[in-house]
C-alpha cells in the first residue's frame, strides 16, 4: 500500500532548518487541515497553492513530490 504524502513528508522533521524540506515538514505537521491521507498530486498541489504558507512553498512541495514518487516506484 502506498504511504500518504504526509507520512512521507514527516520523515524530514527535525532536520536542518536551512533545508526547505525540513521547513515544509514542520509546517505540514502543524497544519491541522493538511490532507493527511492523500496520495494525489492534484489534491496536494492545489492545497499548497491556495494555502500560501511561508514554509510550505510550491518549490519545496515539488522537490518533496519528486522524492515521494521515486520512493513509490
**Span 19-42, pLDDT tens digits:** 999 999 999 999 999 999 999 999
pTM: 0.91
The tally of CA atoms less than 13 A away on the side-chain side of residue 42 is 0
For residues 59 and 8, what is the distance between their CA atoms, to the nearest angstrom?
17
Q: How confident is the model at residue 51 (pLDDT cuts 50, 70, 90)?
A: confident
* pLDDT over threshold 80, residue 52: no
Percent of the chain with pLDDT over 70: 99
**Domains of the chain as residue ranges with CATH:** 5-71 (1.10.150.260)
Instruction: Report CA 57 to chain centroid distance, whole Å.
Output: 9
Q: Calculate ∠ Cα 4-48-32, nearest 5°.
A: 65
Separation between Cα atoms, residue 16 and residue 62, nearest integer Å: 19
* Segment (H or E) for 43: helix 41-51
Amino acid at each position: 500500500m502506498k504511504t500518504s504524502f504526509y507520512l512521507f513528508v514527516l520523515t524530514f522533521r527535525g532536520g536542518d532548518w536551512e533545508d526547505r524540506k525540513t521547513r515544509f515538514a514542520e509546517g505540514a505537521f502543524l497544519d491541522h487541515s493538511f490532507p493527511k491521507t492523500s496520495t494525489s498530486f492534484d489534491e496536494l498541489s492545489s492545497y499548497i497553492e491556495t494555502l500560501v504558507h511561508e514554509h510550505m512553498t510550491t518549490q519545496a512541495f515539488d522537490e518533496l513530490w519528486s522524492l515521494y514518487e521515486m520512493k513509490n516506484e
